[in-house]
Amino acid sequence: MKKVFNFSAGPAILPTEVFEQTADACRSFSKSGLSILEMSHRSKEIIAVMDEAIALVKELLGVPQGYQVLFLQGGASLQFSMVPYNLLPQTGKAVYIDTGVWAKKASKEAKLFGDVVVAASSSDKNYNYLPGIPQNLPADAVYCHVTSNNTIFGTQMSHFPKISLPYVADMSSDIFSRPIDVSQFGLIYAGAQKNLACAGTTLVIVREDLLGKAGRTIPSMLDYKIHIEGESMFNTPPVISIYVSLLTLRWLKKTGGLVALEQHNKAKAGKLYDAIDNSKLFTGTANKADRSLMNVTFVTQTPELEEAFLALAKERGLDGLKGHRSVGGFRASIYNAMPMEGIDALVSALQDFDRAHA
């Protein structure tokens, strides 16, 4: 079968060995003769999967004491409400930084629970840059919400400036792509279906001392404390998505951990951005200083050229390159599992297209 590289924003490419090991586990898991799809989440095999996945998250990210790691459901979208439900008192305030569609959705939900201060926004330029985080944040706010990587607009925070509040970060599209200092964060969340696994689970890392202060009754399924007590098994967890997470985490560790990965991600993105910048027909859409290492957004000059490039890409086995409707053009999502070989194939296609049509 022809090799196809998946540049889709998510569900996304995963390491080939993860696909293979998952297929094996679907046939028979851990010599049990049972498929992982039919095994009880209370079995010793699945409890071991959960324990190892949590331990690897802690190890790879260097999660300090006082934090809990959870595998939940509902996607990153449920975290838009769960975060303020649990952390934002009715009479309290939270800061949101508006850097794109997902950030806006997060702040919209938070407004149902308390006072939301949008301290900075880049909506004036269709979110093609990062507005920065003001230093004079309200002292009475409980957290500052950021989207570390804006999947749609191709911008990414290169670092997290020191501020007076704990960050709450949506890291759905760049978790595990680089080392971070978890102690700067009150809470981190990420839907699995980009850098971690198939859709189904959502990773949450929460500083436990922030919980129990919102002063409201929280329905059990939305209460982080209940999930902590239940060790992410308050109800039946999405076992297959957690198992795929575990396989990806093992691969991350084997590949050299997050420092090595960040270097590789920089090399991949650098090569692709260079090809775009050196072309006549393609232009990157994000402000150069804010460019994402995960989602590379670019456009060409006419709808005809756009169609023609997508046709060439398809012919060459480069899938999922059509840009999101709010930016147009193209988006190459080059998450951790995208090999350099995929970048080289895309760069060749860009260069050949440029030569043929410019």
Q: Is 98 a catalytic residue?
A: no
Q: Could you say which of 5, 6, 7, 10 contacts ligand PMP (CB under 6 A)?
A: 10
How far apart CA 52 and CA 74 sit, in angstroms, is: 22
Q: Is 251 a catalytic residue?
A: no
Q: Among residues 173 and 232, whose Cβ is nearest to ligand PMP? A: 173
The label of the residue with tokens 């409201």 reads: 216
How far apart CA 338 and CA 324 sit, in angstroms, is: 19
Q: Could you say which of 122, 128, 151, 156 contacts ligand PMP (CB under 6 A)?
A: 151
DSSP code per residue over 213-258: -S-S---GGG-HHHHHHTTT-SS---HHHHHHHHHHHHHHHHTTHH
Q: Is 102 a catalytic residue?
A: yes
Residues of span 191-210 touching ligand PMP by CB under 6 A: 191
Q: Could you say which of 77, 121, 287, 301 contacts ligand PMP (CB under 6 A)?
A: 77
Q: Could you say which of 172, 241, 265, 297 contacts ligand PMP (CB under 6 A)?
A: 172
* Catalytically annotated residue among 98, 174, 194, 223: 194
How far apart CA 169 and CA 323 sit, in angstroms, is: 24
At residue 264, the 3 state secondary structure works out as helix
Taking the CA of residue 274 as centre, how many other CA atoms within 13 Å lie in the half-sphere pointing to its CB?
A: 10
Q: Among residues 141 and 171, whose Cβ is nearest to ligand PMP? A: 171
Minimal distance in Å, beta carbon 310 to ligand PMP? 21
Copy the structure tokens of residue 135. Answer: 């230093």
54-62, 71-79, 328-336, 340-348 -> range binding ligand PMP (CB under 6 A): 71-79
Residues of span 285-324 touching ligand PMP by CB under 6 A: none
| Burial per residue of 75-113, b for 16 or more beta-carbon CB atoms within 10 angstroms, e otherwise | bbbbbbbbbbbbbbbeebbbbbbbbbbbbbebbebbeeb
Minimal distance in Å, beta carbon 246 to ligand PMP? 19
Applying CB under 6 A, which residues contact ligand PMP?
10, 75-77, 102, 147, 151, 170, 172-173, 191
